[in-house]
A and B are shown apart, each in its own frame.
Chain A
Amino acid sequence: MIRRLSAIAGAVFADAVRRRIVLAVLFFAGVLVFAIPLLPSYGIGVIGAVYREFGLALVFAASLVLTLSLAANRVPGEVERRTVYNVVAKPVSRWEYLVGTWLGIVTVMALVMGAFVIVLQGFGLLRYGQPMWQLWEGGLAIWCEMGVLAAFSVAVSSAAAPLFGVVAALTVEFVGHSRDSVLGQGGGGVLRALYPSLDTFSIVNPVAHASGVGPVYLGSMLVTFIGWAGLLLLLGSLSFGRRDL
């Protein structure tokens, strides 16, 4: 099973890193990192916090574009081009195909975000003399959130058109960060526990203010990520398993 998953993930990774959109987003995000110090609100005293906050916002925006473009198009593209036949007619389960695809996408995202954080950290060190290790926590949080969104997009687009997958994922992203607006601050009772919240991954403030979130919180974030991604991929696999190709 591991071999089949890694083979599919490897194929997705090799295909994704050659896509122009990945290179384009990486290039423009890299250029923008160097433009952050030109922002007008930049001032002495909060210089590091503003840099980190804008840096993470940039990473988030670039990752969102990449995640949706890769995750929402992959399965429909393979079905439309019929390259999927050569895979799922082999002794490969539909769920293995879906999970392998997701693994390939999150691996690409890990690479891209690792590169972003290295550029951010390197530039921050050179320009401000601060190592800014908290950026890695912020990068991990965004990667986890993108992993959940990728799982959702893969699951939805395995049964629907790519555009629908993108719109649905953006809706989930919006709803996932609106729990307090929908249920009220601290309210909602049982509904609050069941609400599909992505707020766990919102750690911009502690990262920007250099306090970080600590290993326990990072652990809980990973558990949330695995739980959501697993549930969404399970639902996607059930749906994809019933689909005629």
Chain B
Amino acid sequence: MTDRSIPAAIRVSGARKVYTVFPNTKRTAVEDVSISVPEGAIHGLLGPNGAGKTTTLKMLLGLVRPTAGTFEVLGADARTRAGRVPLGFLPEQPYFPQQLTAAQALRLYARLSGLPEREIAPRIDELLERVGLGGQNRTKLSAFSRGMLQRLGIAQAIIGRPRVVVLDEPASGLDPVGQRDVRNIMLSLKGEGVTVLLSSHQLSEVEAVCDRVSILNRGRVAAEDRIDALLQVAGRTSVRVAGLPNGLPEAVRALTGDVAVSSGAIVFSVADIDVRRVVDAVDDAGGAILSITPKRESLEDYFTRMLEATAQGVGS
């Protein structure tokens, strides 16, 4: 559950959505989801297909009527018109009226966002530049590539200078340079104090920018924490050494199970209590310690492991 004593930019409590499928079949898309995102943070929403991520976002934005739950943005009910004033949204694979130019489309969304008329033209120029579409003001959207539409989608999401932005798969359809640009935009938004709720399949993107993540599975929050806390392997330390042409000393080999060689360095992990002994043994063998850090698994490994554990739990 979310802690109401902590000020939050986004607070979803007990979200639930049950669809009635003709003739009278019920399908639960979201079982029970609670998320709290502090102001100025980037919060990741992860989960496999069908986990309930997009439905949760749609309930937050008032696009889907929840069966139960409350949805607040900066303390106001996000499902009302007034509650959406500080909110920007990038839908997954955004679509636009094809006959409009980029500037005409952004002008429309700027007016709907309530941006003062005199600010619209300079804001459009600024945003098109920021999302990498500088000079495309007069280009018809029918001539835009998938990646360009995605960039325009980001521009429309932030055109009203929102304090909270919800991004659903913002890197979808973008090449590596575009993905990097999107990451930089998210980080710059964070620098401006904007809160970002990011739903993504791109684990590297989430790992790179998010302060915290919520992992959804089967319509529930399966895990939620800081990325570091989620990925840290309790009681293990990662050690990187070099200058050992004969490999790890026997005393070290006995303490570690996972050894990898990378760019001339040997990387392995040991129990925290063995770190002192390992350092001494490497030193005695004439090797050099390059780094000692808490052991951390990749988000991809964590995510896969968690989903497998959930599947086994359901199957057993």
Inter-chain contacts of A90 with B (CB < 8 A): 84, 89, 109, 112-113, 160
Per a CB cutoff under 8 Å, which of B64, B84, B96 touches A83? B96
The answer to whether B94 touches A85, judged by C-beta atoms less than 8 angstroms apart, is yes
Q: In residues 113-140 of chain B, which contact A (Cβ within 8 Å)?
A: 113-114
Per a CB cutoff under 8 Å, which of B63, B93, B96, B108 touches A89? B63
Instruction: Output the residue of A3, A8, A86, A244 with the most chain B CB within 10 A.
Output: A86
The answer to whether A93 touches B81, judged by C-beta atoms less than 8 angstroms apart, is yes
Residue B249 interfacial (CB < 8 Å): no
Cα distance A86–B19 in the bound complex, in angstroms: 23
The answer to whether A92 touches B112, judged by C-beta atoms less than 8 angstroms apart, is yes
Q: How many residues of A contact B (CB 8 A)?
A: 25
Q: Which of A11-19, A25-33, A205-213 contacts B (4 or more CB under 8 A)?
A: A11-19
Contact A85-B89, Cβ < 8 Å, known A18-B99, A92-B81, A245-B64: yes
Instruction: Output the residue of B87, B95, B109 with the most chain A CB within 10 A.
Output: B95
Inter-chain contacts of A87 with B (CB < 8 A): 112
- Contact mask for chain B residues 95-113; partner A; CB cutoff 8 A; 1 contact, 0 none: 1110110001000110111
Q: Of all chain B residues, which has the CB nearest A89?
A: B89
Q: Of all chain B residues, which has the CB nearest A88?
A: B63
Cα distance A91–B94 in the bound complex, in angstroms: 18
Inter-chain contacts of B82 with A (CB < 8 A): 91
Per a CB cutoff under 8 Å, which of B58, B85, B99 touches A91? B85
| Interface majority SS (helix, strand, loop, mixed), chain A | helix
Residue B156 interfacial (CB < 8 Å): yes
Cα distance A234–B33 in the bound complex, in angstroms: 33
The answer to whether A244 touches B63, judged by C-beta atoms less than 8 angstroms apart, is yes
The answer to whether A4 touches B111, judged by C-beta atoms less than 8 angstroms apart, is yes
Q: Of all chain A residues, which has the CB nearest B64?
A: A244
The answer to whether A91 touches B97, judged by C-beta atoms less than 8 angstroms apart, is no
Cα distance A7–B65 in the bound complex, in angstroms: 26
Q: Of all chain A residues, which has the CB nearest B109?
A: A86
Residues in A lying within 8 Å of B, measured CB to CB: 3-4, 7-8, 10-11, 14-15, 18, 81-83, 85-93, 96, 242, 244-245
Residues in B lying within 8 Å of A, measured CB to CB: 19, 58, 61-65, 81-82, 84-85, 87, 89, 91, 93-97, 99-100, 104, 108-109, 111-114, 153, 156, 160
Complex A-B, nearest 4 residue pairs according to Cβ-Cβ distance, in ascending order: A7-B111, A89-B89, A85-B91, A90-B112
